[in-house]
Amino acid sequence: MRPIVGITACSEIVNGVDSQCVGDKYIRSIAVAADCVPVLVPSLGEALDIPSLLERLDGILATGSDSGVHPRHYGGNAARQTPDGLDPARDATTLPLLRAAVEKGVPVLAICRGHQELNVALGGTLHQFVHELGDKRDHREDTALPKKERYEPVHTVHLAPEGFLATLLEREDMEVNSLHWQGIDRLASLLVADAWADDGLIEATHVADAPGFAVSVQWHPEWRAEENPHSVALFEAFAKACQQRAAERRHCSGSE
């Protein structure tokens, strides 16, 4: 029995209709690279029964998005964030969802916006416009390139020696893609940094002493995941944690 993984959706208007949207690459990374069953977690905010949902899921994938976490969740400047760059319904869903998943030991893999959400959900803050800081590189996608070329690697990240990623990947650094305006400023106290860009921006974290797998990356391992050995290793580690939870759930329910 394959584990069931919830994938966070964005609330968007599609052809004039309120919709829940998930990028295909996230869905396929769970179905193919992780060999799990993907299901959508809608951005319903308080209308979503998170405890009931987590009882039935073996993992959570917190996806990237063109929208950003609303600055009010981390003391940022709400006046500067354009409304089309926000998704309050997603914030109202993923922030409590990630807190509950970490607390219950439900495996979490958080990507890009998800990386930022995990930090904010656990009490950290974000830089809203990393490229304006002066001491950081521009981490935004190159809009002069065709969309598919924007997911190619563009900079190096250095892995924390003997950290989760360095141990998993058996290397000290790696090349990653970069498609983000925001970035981690103050790291949540429960998180440990696992990777940094050359400019010092935190590019990966994990929850220290978490009861389960709880990992975030600022880059996009879901992009053509099965073609990248680092991405395969990350999704396989996530899948192993989901398989363990699935076995525990079956045992607790008496179905094995």
Provide the annotated active-site residues: 112, 220, 222
Considering beta carbons, is residue 38 or 64 the nearer one to ligand LF53FM6H? 64
- Which is nearer to ligand LF53FM6H, 12 or 104 (by Cβ)? 12
Q: Which is nearer to ligand LF53FM6H, 7 or 54 (CB)?
A: 7
Q: Which amino acid is located at 211 in the chain?
A: P
**Coil, strand or helix at 183:** strand
Rounded CA separation 95/103 (Å): 13
Least distance in Å: CB of 148 to ligand LF53FM6H? 11
Residues near ligand LF53FM6H (CB under 6 A) are 23, 64-68, 112-113, 179-182, 220
The answer to whether the CB of 41 falls within 8 A of the CB of 119 is no
CB 52 → ligand LF53FM6H: shortest distance, Å?
27
Minimum CB separation of residue 182 from ligand LF53FM6H in Å reads 3
- Of 195 and 246, CB closest to ligand LF53FM6H: 195
CB 103 within 8 Å of CB 91? no
Q: How far is the CB of 116 from ligand LF53FM6H (least distance, A)?
A: 6
Nearer to ligand LF53FM6H among residue 65 and residue 119 (C-beta) = 65
Distance CA 125, CA 186 (A): 5
Question: Using CA of residue 115, residue 116, residue 118, residue 123, what is the dihedral sign?
Answer: positive
Dist. CA 136–CA 133, nearest whole Å = 6
Q: Looking at beta carbons, which residue is closest to ligand LF53FM6H?
A: 64
Query: Which residues are registered as beta bridge partners of 158?
Result: 173, 196
Half-sphere exposure of 105 (CA within 13 A, CB side): 10
In the complex, minimum distance from the CB of residue 67 to ligand LF53FM6H, in angstroms, rounded to a whole number: 6
Residue of 232, 242, 194 lying closest to 216 (CA atoms): 194
CB of 79 to ligand LF53FM6H, least distance (A): 18
* Phi, psi for residue 2 in degrees, rounded to 5: -75, 145
Please, which residue, 135 or 209, has the CB nearer to ligand LF53FM6H? Answer: 135
DSSP 97-161: HHHHHHHHT--EEEETHHHHHHHHHTT--EES-GGGSSSS---S--TTS-GGGGGS--EEEEEPT
